[in-house]
Amino acid sequence: MTAVPKVLSIAGTDPSGGAGIQGDLKTFSALGGYGMAVITGLVAQTTTGVREILEVPAAFVHAQLETLLTDVPADAVKIGMLGEASVIHAVAEALDRFSPPYVVLDPVMVATSGDRLLAADAVAALREVLLPRADLITPNLPEAADLLGDRPATGVAEMRDQVRRLHRLGARRVLLKGGHLDGGTCVDVYSAGEGPVEIAVPRIPTRHTHGTGCTLSSAITALRPRSSDWLTAVREAKDYLTGALRAADALHVGQGHGPVHHFHALWRDEGHALAR
């Protein structure tokens, strides 16, 4: 691996800059990765919700992947919004051909605003085609329920059970995110198959949570090439996201759920000048 990891995001856009391709590239940069992007959909959205999605045809997603990865091999790949089954198959073909060392699948199905980002008939393709090809999947509670055909977990015990069931579907490693649960502590459950590990961090009191899922999965992807193992990368990414949430109120972006502060460790508060 080169000194600077080349990190690829395969995802849709977010014009407001908090999630999707834009949020992923910010996260990669903040954590020392060289960010690259293959776009799967053009999304008209803000901090208040999604208005419209223009899907990128699977053939052009394939062309982007083929063109890029033939020239610039990726040290790690994060997969986000895919939209349709045909795009899922195109991504799977690229993974098989180019064999990137680390693949993180964030099974984006529904936006925080409640807008659906994955066609209902594409869930089976995601589950059967991509899930076994990923080194780590990072579903939230509704996404895990969608993959399992179940209701969302309501507590940590149910999360641990759903993690085991996701392994039985073919997932190698699972980080089940518990941010939708109530309480002063946010608990995620990580498992590589040997037994679940609970990762608890304080819940940050902010309404500006736009892009949290994208940011966490992209942070793990950027950190993994330089980390000793997956759990270390996950813990470091959780710390990064906690800092981004803690600083989110300072950004004042949008009228809805604003973005997390991807560059919280690099910008000074005064004048937003880069720290020296």
* Joined tokens for residue 171: 């997932």
41, 211, 215, 242: which one is catalytic? 211
Q: Is there a catalytic annotation at residue 214?
A: yes
7 sits in which H/E element:
strand 6-12
Q: Is there a catalytic annotation at residue 26?
A: no
186, 214, 215, 221: which one is catalytic? 214
SS3 label, residue 137: strand
| Strands of the 6-12 sheet, one edge to the other | 49-55, 34-46, 6-12, 76-79, 103-105, 136-137, 174-176, 185-191, 197-202
Q: How far apart are CA 74 and CA 71, in angstroms?
A: 10
Q: How far apart are CA 172 and CA 48, in angstroms?
A: 35
Q: Quote the crossing angle between the two packed helices 20-30 and 212-223, to the nearest 10°.
A: 40
114 sits in which H/E element:
none
Check residue 17 and give left, alpha or beta (phi > 0: left; psi -120 to 50: alpha): left
* Joined tokens for residue 257: 């759920």
17, 23, 213, 258: which one is catalytic? 213
* Joined tokens for residue 76: 């790690």
212, 215, 221, 242: which one is catalytic? 212
Beta partners for residue 7, in sequence order: 35, 76
Q: Is there a catalytic annotation at residue 195?
A: no
Beta partners for residue 200, in sequence order: 187
40, 177, 221, 258: which one is catalytic? 177
Q: Are 104 and 36 in contact (CB under 8 A)?
A: no
Q: Is there a catalytic annotation at residue 212?
A: yes
Q: Is there a catalytic annotation at residue 18?
A: no
What residues are annotated to the active site?
177, 209, 211-214
